[in-house]
Structure 1
């Protein structure tokens, strides 16, 4: 019968937060990751209470169906415990936690999930997410309003629609039963990993690590390399044909591994200069603290309308930006063209010497020069060296410079070529107005 062969768990506070609000448990039949929320008001307490209550069911179960019931009952019981703690400690009002849990029974695996922590399965090189995030942005993705890539940077990505806590007395929990296949590797993680490390990178690490312990350590390190603005909790186990000779050990990580306290503590610590230098964007634009909002149609409608307005403003901003860039390009083109028309050079049309206005270069098929005046000097009347120079054109810069070049070529030429004044004898006199005495 298939069984869990090896497992490992790890948790890190990250590079920004002052305390770890994640908790995790890797047992013999049970595997759990919880990510607390509520800021200074007890996110670490919420995840610790949930994991400590749920790990009580880490015992053999007769069937996967009973394992599902046990998981659901444990999460509901944890939810009730959180409500009781808030009644005794009002300063913790609003705290809550996500939970993603798996329980082995009869060669199969029961899953229970609420929130945005995740469960992944790696099989034959394919990494598949087994849970669905209970977040506002996931609703937008499911309805086709935004893409998964847009959800990753959406300003409302921290809004959770379902959690365990003192808000809902009967939380809605997703459950499922999956088969265990030898060779599979499973990953449970908080969004401190999934929010900052790509699935491609996660898949590569899970597929190449020699053991769950190595995979866990490498995944946490990868999150830290990305700046790790959130707590990071990772749990990895692998499935084998037969159970190991010695039973799996039990490990509790994160807040649940410490004595439970109800002290209000800061959630963030100052960002250090090295972190800003290495990860300027991820460190400054870190994800806001996750928080719960009621899963009501009115609230969803408000958020969707807000998202529409944001998208409309984004489109207008994009159009304005494009317009400014286009206008800048047009203005630069006009200024550039005006500059080219202040330049002159001397060349030939094949038979005569010509003063051209503009520059020799062009833009594709567009010429940036035109004939200013034909000097009347025949090319064949000049020596071979001068003819060769004229065929390659001689840059003059200004019009007086061009006339000076023409004078050097032929001193008898009319260097004042160009629009000439009309001789006075050709101008008819204008009759004087009659003056009446």
Structure 2
């Protein structure tokens, strides 16, 4: 699967905070349509250097992807990238006690040969939108969500719960949380992927997101125009930092080379070497049998002709003795070379 994207758009805003604990990758203003990896991280903890945590996560996860050279991203690969970020946290805390306890959420989007890889930790989200409708969104790693899923409280109660901001999964030095991983292969031209921190969600509810990404036959704005409208929804309205990336799919094509490799593997799997060898022998053997048959028929034709000619010559000799003045009484046949025989297929 060959996926091409429009120029991505992202923002990373201070919002109502005195410092910005969000980080995104690529850095705002540097993303291009050639980029495959996108990250949005929201530092957790306030006084525990959340801005350092989100920055380190973006830096070390992106470095891990770039160093590896991997094209097809597995769940274990993503977890190794998260571990690389966690190890950077551990090293940083050793040298800077003020960073002890720092943590961050993570949203990750990567396009490979099989579609889109999504991974997340915490309450930052990833959306997949098609034709102005959300067809997938990640589920927040929050304590109240677990209570709702277990039937202890309702969604309405969760919105007012005193522990509604407690996050159950993050990147941090003190424990190794595993990121939720998903692969999406159902991707079409015109689809959107939207990554955002929870500060965006203070003002941008699902219906409003769908409104901004709806079908509009009279106008086809670029992602940067759409995201500017989203940013305006949040500006001066949210108490938190707010950050996002919007990626629009330009086209989805077949990965021909990959298909050929798969087909080759299938052929080798169902056609053992012994079968292939036998076929390679049977083909020239069939040709040899055809040539032998042709030679036999050709020789038989010659023998028949010579016998017939000999008899005609004897008859002519006899007739020439009686009809000596008739030159046409003796007819000489020119031997005809045998042609035909069975066709031999290569």
Find 1:100's aligned residue among 76, 87, 107: 107
Secondary structure, counterpart of 1:160 in structure 2? coil
- 1:146-175 CA deviation, whole Å, 9 max, x = no partner? 33343233221110111101220x222111
Contact map agreement 2:122 2:170 (CA 8 A) in 1: yes
- Residue 206 (structure 1) aligned with residue 230 (structure 2): no
Contact map agreement 1:118 1:129 (CA 8 A) in 2: no
- 1:291-320 CA deviation, whole Å, 9 max, x = no partner? xxxxxxxxxxxxxxxxxxxxxxxxxxxxxx
In 2, the alpha carbon distance for the partners of 1:81 and 1:3 equals: 33
Gaps of 5+ in 1: 244-437
In 1, the alpha carbon distance for the partners of 2:135 and 2:252 equals: 24
* Root-mean-square deviation over aligned CA pairs: 2.0
The residue that corresponds to 1:177 in the other structure is 183
In 2, the alpha carbon distance for the partners of 1:237 and 1:120 equals: 10
- Residue 239 (structure 1) aligned with residue 244 (structure 2): no
Q: Within 5 Å, which residues of 2 pair with 1:348-359?
A: none
In 1, the alpha carbon distance for the partners of 2:240 and 2:3 equals: 35
Find 1:63's aligned residue among 61, 68, 72: 72
Q: How has the CA–CA distance of structure 1 residues 5 and 31 changed in structure 2, closer, same or farther, with 3 Å as cutoff?
A: same
Secondary structure, counterpart of 1:177 in structure 2? strand
Give the deviation of 1:195 after TM superposition: 3.2
Q: Within 5 Å, which residues of 2 pair with 1:289-308?
A: none
In 2, the alpha carbon distance for the partners of 1:167 and 1:21 equals: 19
In 2, the alpha carbon distance for the partners of 1:70 and 1:210 equals: 35
Gaps of 5+ in 2: 254-346
In 2, the alpha carbon distance for the partners of 1:235 and 1:148 equals: 27
Give the deviation of 1:58 after TM superposition: 4.6
Q: Within 5 Å, which residues of 2 pair with 1:145-224?
A: 145-168=152-175, 170-179=176-185, 180-207=187-214, 210-224=221-235
In 1, the alpha carbon distance for the partners of 2:159 and 2:7 equals: 32
In 1, the alpha carbon distance for the partners of 2:207 and 2:165 equals: 23
- Residue 20 (structure 1) aligned with residue 20 (structure 2): yes
In 1, the alpha carbon distance for the partners of 2:232 and 2:70 equals: 35
The residue that corresponds to 2:147 in the other structure is 140
Name the structure with the higher strand share.
Answer: 1
In 1, the alpha carbon distance for the partners of 2:76 and 2:8 equals: 24
Runs of 4+ in 1 over 4 A off after TM superposition: none
Of 50-59 and 197-206, the range deviating more from structure 2: 50-59
Secondary structure, counterpart of 2:161 in structure 1? coil
Give the deviation of 1:64 after TM superposition: 4.1
In 2, the alpha carbon distance for the partners of 1:184 and 1:9 equals: 17
Number of residue equivalences: 238
The residue that corresponds to 2:272 in the other structure is none
Secondary structure, counterpart of 1:241 in structure 2? strand
In 2, the alpha carbon distance for the partners of 1:165 and 1:37 equals: 10
Give the deviation of 1:51 after TM superposition: 0.3
In 2, the alpha carbon distance for the partners of 1:85 and 1:183 equals: 42
Contact map agreement 2:79 2:178 (CA 8 A) in 1: no
Give the deviation of 1:99 after TM superposition: 0.4
In 2, the alpha carbon distance for the partners of 1:138 and 1:85 equals: 32
In 2, the alpha carbon distance for the partners of 1:196 and 1:218 equals: 12
In 2, the alpha carbon distance for the partners of 1:195 and 1:201 equals: 12
Contact map agreement 1:5 1:242 (CA 8 A) in 2: no
Q: Within 5 Å, which residues of 2 pair with 1:111-150?
A: 111-150=118-157
The residue that corresponds to 1:80 in the other structure is 87
Q: How has the CA–CA distance of structure 1 residues 155 and 128 changed in structure 2, closer, same or farther, with 3 Å as cutoff?
A: farther
Contact map agreement 1:122 1:128 (CA 8 A) in 2: yes
- Residue 32 (structure 1) aligned with residue 33 (structure 2): no
- 1:246-305 CA deviation, whole Å, 9 max, x = no partner? xxxxxxxxxxxxxxxxxxxxxxxxxxxxxxxxxxxxxxxxxxxxxxxxxxxxxxxxxxxx
Contact map agreement 2:42 2:105 (CA 8 A) in 1: yes
